[in-house]
A and B are shown apart, each in its own frame.
Chain A
């Protein structure tokens, strides 16, 4: 079967660093993406990894290891506005399948 596993909740303080892990099992694999969703809003794209390694975009970085079927999203210098749900997603042929999401709470 197909599955994406990520922690359900993470809590951190402002200015800290947090890592959200994602492991996946899919029949096809064309890359791992991360999306952010604030309450009541639509998911917005954060990053994409098609190949192994680290991708950095400002305060956010994402890592992929295809041999381990594993990736993570790293958020640095956390801000209150980073409180949201974060979804990993895997492209399987034309489909984009999402994990259950990790709710990040940033505290002062």
Chain B
């Protein structure tokens, strides 16, 4: 059973046209993360939520925003996608983060974003 679900699997958008990627989880985990991964590179952390507390990475562009309306759902909004934003976007969860002992991240299957 899928525990971290990302939709859609592939997303095509136009340059400058806002796009939203979605993630849902059935694990009831407190922490949700968004990573950007470009081909043959490490996943790069964009931001994460610990419950409702939002934590933005210092180098995450303002073009990227996130919402977490409840425990189960988290959204990544790209306000004006550029060609350089084409990548795989991975959502992940963990139970407690560093505040607990569970260090395991559960990843969704990702959304491959193309910008035309």
Contacts and interface: CB of A to CB of B under 8 A. Distances in A.
Interface of A: 4, 28, 30-31, 33, 35, 41-45, 48, 50, 87, 89, 91, 93-101, 103
A50 to B, nearest CB: 7
Contact of A45 (B42, B104, B108): B104
Interface residues of B, number: 28
Interface in B6-48: 31, 33, 35, 40-45, 48
Residue among A35, A42, A103 with max Cβ neighbours from chain B (10 Å): A42
Contacts of A97: 45
A44 B108 CA distance: 9
Given A43-B90, A45-B104, A94 B109 contact: no
Interface of B: 31, 33, 35, 40-45, 48, 50, 55, 57, 90, 92, 94, 97-99, 101, 103-110
Nearest to B98: A30
B41 A45 contact: no
Contacts, number: 63
A89 B107 CA distance: 14
A68 B109 CA distance: 34
A45 B98 contact: no
A48 B103 contact: yes
Contacts of A44: 107
A45 B105 contact: yes
Given A43-B43, A98-B43, A50 B109 contact: no
**Which 4 A-B residue pairs are closest in the complex by CB-CB distance?**
A42-B107, A94-B97, A98-B42, A48-B103
B33 A87 contact: no
A96 B94 contact: yes
Contacts of B92: 96
